[in-house]
Amino acid sequence: MKTSRTQVWAENLGDWSWPGRGGAAAEVLPPPWVPAFPPRREPVLAPPAAPASWQRRRRLVLGMILGALLAACAALALNGQLELLLGLRSSAPALKTTTARGAAPQPLPTLLSTSHDAAGSSIDTASYSAPALAGTGSFLVYLPPGFASTTRHYPTLYLLHGNNQPADAFLQIGLQDALDRLIARHEIPPLIAVMIQGGRGANNWRNQGRRRYETYVLEVQELVDRMLPTVAHRDARAIAGDSMGGYGAMNIALGNPFRFGVVESWLGFFNGLEGKLRADRPVLRQMGLHAFLYGGESDQIADPSENAPFAAALRRSGASARSAVYPGDHSLETLQAHLSRMLMFAGGSLSAAR
């Protein structure tokens, strides 16, 4: 029997120094290229006065040039490019929305309540005409206890199911009860969980022809940020999934590093993601990423030995990543056995990121 191992990596900021730290302040001297006395400047002879008519023409030309510059600056400001030219904008680019520029925003679907529990949380559902699917998209939403009576904003966990599973598979393994319990014990912050309904077959939550499942996930994320009081920031968004959804979560997180700050793969796989990870290194080293990957010891579908090497590759690229192999096979029972642990990691990472 294999021994379960969990790899943990923590960043060490190391020593730092401050000028003059630990001793008396040193005398600050000018650099050697600065002369002791300013050089003597001879007065500059004024140029001969120009004719009045020429001066009027010059003022007219200068006024036309100044007017053109002001008009150009106004146009750049309207397009959001002036700050970029002046170096005032943050190094993180704005999110690329899934709606074409200039198009009307996607109409907001209506959330319909399906159930409430004794703890005070609820499960709502929504469906809408999804451009990314050229058809109907839908999702379930977990709203935490006290949601209706507060004005707070919540971090969000997005969940992607496995091949041929329904979105409510997460509810079948006890997601609502687990979140209620962990929130009540203050082990995780109150959060919103969104269970997205994908299509049938092994689409791996990727864009395929007319059905663009990766774009669909981003489309839902944008709708949820408009519909609900979320903390609309990457560090307040987590994405996780099981099996095919584990691959989809990692693929989408690495393909959209400015959208998600936390990612988890449950019984997932990582085929072909090395290129995206290499491309993300500058972003991950600057902004970080919290990741947890785990496999089942007896899993015959997703090789559990892939988790530790990919977690190590994430760490080399700047992420804070852990991996584990737990007892169990490729089944909902294995997910259920470790669900609370995974929710604690996601909730704790979201809490630390706020």
Please state whether the predicted TM-score (pTM) of the whole model is above 0.85.
Answer: no
pLDDT at position 70 is 59
Sign of torsion over alpha carbons 230, 231, 232, 236: negative
| Helices and strands of the chain, counted as H and E runs | 9, 12
End-to-end CA distance of the chain: 40
Q: Tell me the domains of the chain and their CATH numbers.
A: 112-353 (3.40.50.1820)
Q: What is the pLDDT of residues 9-28, one digit of tens each?
A: 322 222 222 223 333 333 33
pLDDT tens sequence across 124-163: 999 999 999 999 999 999 999 999 888 899 999 999 999 9
8 Å CB contact between 121 and 143: yes
pLDDT band at 351 (very low <50, low <70, confident <90, very high): confident
pLDDT of residue 53: 56
- Amino acid at the residue 119: A
pLDDT tens for each residue of 305-321: 999 999 999 999 999 99
- Asked whether the beta carbons of 219 and 130 are under 8 A apart, the reply is yes
Within 1-128, residue ranges assigned H as helices are 52-78, 82-86
